[in-house]
Amino acid sequence: MSLRVDASSPLPWRTVAPLSPELFVPLRRRIIFDCCKWDPQVEDVSTIADIPLVLPARVWRELASLAELLASEVMAAETELRGRPDLHGRLGLPRAVRRALGDRRGSLRREGQGEPDNNTRGIARLVRFDFHHTTSGWRISEANSDVPGGLNEASGLSELMAGYYPGTVPAGDTAGAYARAMCASLGAGAHVAFVHATAYSDDRQVMTYLARRFAASGVRTSLISPAHLRWHSGRARLDTAWTSEPIDALVRFFPGEWLPNLPNACGWSHFFDGGLTPVSNPASAILTQSKRFPLTWDALRTPMPTWRLLLPETRDPRDVPWRHGEEWVLKPALGRVGEDIGMRGVTDLKQWRQLSRNVRWFPSGWAAQRRFVATAFRVRGVDLYPSVGIYTIDGHAAGAYGRIAERPLIDGRARDTAVLVSADEDAGPSLLPVPVLARVTG
């Protein structure tokens, strides 16, 4: 497909009415219990939106196609980067991670001549690309290529919400596609362990929901901490007070940069290198998770045309005048869920000063990204800025995760929203005063 982005197109979503409180309250209850959404409120604010983001079929196909192009490029670049430890220093990775990626066994071939010999086996590679509609067309802010979250909201919330809006369907079912991709490779009865930080309920809820979906596809599941693993000759085993048994595959929801904090006895380095038990995703995904990933592009043989088109210019903070004006956004290299993002005029002044100090002192751990102007839709007199995260599994679009915020920054204050697809090819006039497509019914 063409890589041209049409900046003159109207707003790419349909105007719909929010759910009434009478409809939303029971829906919210189902999301909590059926979809394992255990953090439905932060302080006095609901984290679940009472209005979906409805995309015309044409827009959904466009985003899915762009995500597949991005996935193809990022997986090729990641393969090349695994064999280029000379570039790992540009990515802002912890020293222990760099050792695990490139120096632990001396298994690398000659620089530039291929990938490591002992790559941990991958299976059902999952990536999420976060799209934003801007005054210049569609752009992405980042790729979540290490441990992308939002899977319970993306699948569960959208399925439930579609029932209230006739003529719409969910934008895919990522959790279902994920389970099918894993089970197709492993077969019925395989033992899949879901590795996560078990003390965090927001991580536990995602893994619990996924485990339910996987179990429905015919596999055995275990919810575990990485400390419950022991590796023997590259094979992972579950080693706990209640059982000791082999594992056929691992779903990792434990960030790659956290792994070196674990005891060496649990063999955490096998997530990066030398693991024979298939992992989704191998921890080498951290190479492209880093917000400083674009700083390696000019040194790679892998072409990145779709990324260069859709991701705003990204630079080392030392190379741009970020201290003055609002042209640049500051991002930690390994930041997640919008934490510690600095946008002058959006980030509160106290936090901006703290972030600025951190960037000055530790610039190699940060990236500066040229700011785009996001478009919004208006609900109840409030501008809402949406983000559409498109998941790919092994390079194929699988579903979408929606979030909306009352400011042009998607972070922990943003609300989860269903992403639905209408049968209509076009959005029609933007911001219709009366919903046409999605008349809410009881």
Q: What SS3 class is residue 158?
A: helix
Q: Whole-number mean pLDDT of the chain?
A: 89
Q: What SS3 class is residue 428?
A: coil
CA-CA distances (angstroms) from residue 330 to 296, 308, 367?
18, 19, 6
**pLDDT digits over 160-193, tens only?**
999 999 999 999 999 999 999 998 889 889 999 9
* Greatest CA separation for the chain: 65
Whether the pLDDT of residue 312 is over 70: the answer is yes
* pTM of structure: 0.91
Rounded CA-CA distance 403/392 in Å is 18
CA-CA distances (angstroms) from residue 428 to 13, 138, 387, 392?
9, 18, 20, 28
**pLDDT digits over 284-297, tens only?**
999 999 999 999 99
Rounded CA-CA distance 235/155 in Å is 31
| Per-residue pLDDT, 412 | 82
| Per-residue pLDDT, 425 | 66
Query: In sequence order, which residues have a C-beta less than 8 Å from that of residue 403 and are 6 or more positions away?
Result: 150, 386, 387, 389, 410, 414, 415, 416, 417
Whether the pLDDT of residue 2 is over 70: the answer is no
Please provide residue 41's backbone torsions phi and psi, each rounded to the nearest 5 degrees: -150, 140
| Per-residue pLDDT, 39 | 86
CA-nearest of 270, 250, 268 to 259 is: 268
| Per-residue pLDDT, 108 | 37
